[in-house]
Structure 1
Amino acid sequence: MYFGLLIALVPLGLGYLIKIKNNRWMSKINLTLSWMIYLILFIMGAELAHLDNLTTNLQIILCYAIVLFVCTFGGNFVVLLIFDYFSPAKTVKANQTYDSRFKMIFESLRVCIALILGFVCGLFPLFIWKYAEITTQVVLVFLLFFIGIQLRSNNISIKQILLNKIGITTTLLVTISAFLGGVVASFILDLPARVGLAMSSGFGWYSLSGILMTEAHGPIIGSATFLNDILRELCAIILIPTLIKRYQLTTLGLCGATSMDFTLPMLQKGGGIAIVPAAIAQGFLLTLIMPIFITLFNYGWFGL
């Protein structure tokens, strides 16, 4: 149990101790991270191809992902909408177009392409697949390390994060409603509650949630978790232009952990510069707590 938690937190913490000001080096780190994510998803796809009763298992994965998405994203939507309706806090509106929305959707789908390519290659009996598990673990450690560097190098202090009331509030609402949705999904799917809670703890960070869940529960649960989180990002991209003019806090919460990076430009276009601090705070906090909660739930630390 302790080893699993250390694997998740130590690389992230060590990376956070390093601050890089050189833009050239940060660009290299960002590029390296992208390729590492694609590599891990490629391996996940290959592991899927090695499952017995493949057709049946793919149906199970889709069923798990859809039920989990409806319960968690739907729960987020309802709770955030109620909070947004009664909240006096409103951000400045900005009228801008979203001509790059389809480009962002395509960029999100590229990770699915990596998974599909891995699946196709996994159908071939290559000797390299016996090293897939150890390769994933090694890449995961470096992935978390570089993410820690990213977080520290964005010039965001812990004080700034903890003083942003809107970001903290949406983080709490997203976390609690996602957990409730995860419990409901676990009952529907006849899974242990802790597995449903772990699957709901990705908050849109598909590149890591799928990996951690695959390591703990195998490729079926891992792939369902990945699909759930990629669906969150895709739906957030689609809904931002529609919702943000009237329900900005709801839109922010639905973006989950991606609010500090991938969906941040769209949030800024619709909500103005005033929404940026809250978006960064929410994304940072969800990114920070995500591996902690997934690891704790996976190893049953809450007695579930």
Structure 2
Amino acid sequence: MNSLITLISILTPLFLGFFIRVPKRWLPLVDKGLGWLVYLILLLIGVSLSQVENLGAQMQTIISATVLLFVCVIGLNLLVLMWFDRRYPWQVTGNGKKANVSIRGSLKQVGCVLLGFLAGNALPAAWLPSENLGTYCLMLLVLLVGVQLRSSGITLRQVLINKRGVQTCVLITLSSLAGGLLFAALMPQVSWSKGLALASGFGWYSLSGIVMTEAYGPVWGSIALLNDLAREFFALVFIPLLMRGHPSAAVGVGGATSLDFTLPVIQSSGGLAAVPLAISFGFVINVLAPVLMVVFSAMHF
């Protein structure tokens, strides 16, 4: 029942957002609101992590599990998409030129988690935020994501008509889930369904951090968060290099961030021809991520 409530609480505001179209002049406010909500959610994740007993003993698990999960998922993503690009070549107008890469935003996000952790240790228990606050923030976040997607002028036809974008989404989804199964096989304490859930964030760290915290506790929520943040770091650095010969891999490696945070890097290194691919792929993967995470985290196998 709890998993059903979580699924409804995430999908309902997301699809409600699809029916809300705001004027373009308001979109910067929506973007700014999303940015602040992400920071608030990361702070709350840090606070939750600070309440874990014997956290020092858990740190080795967090670090080792994050590294292994990242290698399994990203490794299979690249293996499958690079094969796809070689088997079905596709040229972009760019030449893989060097793009302006900034990891300042990612560092800020890590800093928010650390700040929340410090605040959770310093504040009296009575001053700590309610556990439900993270869920409310997440609901507002996905509502604004829906509004952003609807108001950006993207239609479902535009998404589905981009064959390569849909193909890239399918391959990223299947290879990520295969990576989650590989992770579960290598970690005896991780069930198959848990491995699939952890691999379904696709780079949407603010969502995966909260959903996995609610499903499996702050330790595994932090592992999901760090894994998806690592995808963002990796994408920022390697998209320009991958774009030279593997454009689908370059777009797919960004996961959910290909629709926003890594889109400028995709455009600058791949040219305008890569933008429709990124938008189609990013749109579908942003819808799939919350569904797959909640469904798999509700299962036990």
TM-score, length-normalised on structure 2? 0.95
CA-CA distance at 1:196 after TM superposition: 0.5
In the alignment, which residue of structure 1 is the partner of 2:179?
181
Aligned to 2:10: 8
Aligned to 1:120: 118
Find out whether 1:18 has 2:20 as its counterpart. yes
Label 1:121 to 1:151 Cα distance change in 2 as closer, same or farther (>3 A). same
Pick closer, same or farther for the CA change 1:75–1:129 going to 2, 3 Å.
farther
CA deviations on 1:177-204 (whole Å, 9 max, x unpaired) are 0000001101212201111100000111
Aligned residue runs from structure 1 range 105-144, under 5 A: 105-128=103-126, 130-144=128-142
Name the counterpart of 1:54: 55
Q: Which runs of 5+ in 1 are unaligned?
A: none
Report the Cα distance in structure 2 between the residues aligned to 1:105 and 1:12, rounded to whole angstroms: 28
Query: What are the residue-to-residue correspondences of 1:1-304 with 2, within 5 Å?
Result: 1-23=3-25, 25-94=26-95, 96-98=97-99, 100-101=100-101, 104-128=102-126, 130-190=128-188, 191-300=190-299, 304=301
Asked if the contact 1:264–1:279 (Cα under 8 Å) also holds between the matched residues in 2, the reply is yes
Q: For each residue in 1:124-164, what CA deviation from the matched residue of structure 2 results, as whole angstroms up to 9, or x when unmatched?
A: 24235553311111111111111110110110000110111
The structural deviation recorded for 1:89 is 2.4
Amino acid at match of 1:15: G
Q: What is the CA-CA distance between 1:249 and the residue it aligns to?
A: 1.4
The residue type equivalent to 1:213 in the other structure is M
Distance (whole Å) between structure 2 residues aligned to residue 41 and residue 139 of structure 1: 11
CA contact (8 A) 1:44 1:115 kept: yes
2:8 and 2:96 map into 1 onto residues whose CA distance is 45
**TM-score, structure 1 length as denominator?**
0.94
Could you tell me how far apart the structure 2 residues matched to 1:231 and 1:86 are?
A: 28
User: Could you tell me whether the CA contact under 8 Å between 1:42 and 1:119 is conserved in 2?
Assistant: yes
CA 47–95 in structure 1, closer or farther in 2 if over 3 Å, else same = closer
Residue 86 of structure 1 and its aligned partner are, at CA, apart by 1.2
Q: Is the 8 A contact 2:165 2:277 kept in 1?
A: yes
CA distance in 1, matches of 2:55, 2:127: 17
Aligned length, in residue pairs: 298
Q: Deviations over 1:235-268 (max 9, x none)?
A: 0111012221121111111111111111111111
What CA distance in whole angstroms lies between the structure 1 residues aligned with 2:226 and 2:183?
15
User: SS state of the match for residue 20, structure 1?
Assistant: coil
Please give the alpha-carbon distance, in whole angstroms, between the structure 2 residues aligned to 1:164 and 1:129.
50
SS at match of 1:202: coil
CA contact (8 A) 1:43 1:132 kept: no
Q: What CA distance in whole angstroms lies between the structure 2 residues aligned with 1:253 and 1:29?
A: 25
For residue 54 of structure 1, report the CA deviation from its aligned partner: 1.2
Instruction: Answer yes or no: is the 8 Å Cα contact 2:90–2:247 preserved in 1.
Output: no
Q: Write out per-residue CA displacement over residues 258-302 of structure 1, whole angstroms, 9 at most, x where no aligned residue.
A: 1111111111111111111010000000001100000100111xx
Shift of the 62–19 alpha-carbon distance from structure 1 to 2, 3 Å rule, reads same
Per the TM alignment, residue 94 of structure 1 is displaced from its structure 2 partner at its CA by 4.1
Per the TM alignment, residue 91 of structure 1 is displaced from its structure 2 partner at its CA by 2.1
CA contact (8 A) 2:266 2:275 kept: yes
How far is the alpha carbon of 1:93 from its aligned partner? 2.4
List per-residue Cα deviations over 1:95-152 (Å, max 9, x = no partner): 6442x31xx2111111000000011111124235553311111111111111110110
One-letter code aligned to 2:43: F
Which residues of structure 2 form unaligned runs of 5+? Answer: none
- Compute the RMSD of aligned alpha carbons: 1.4
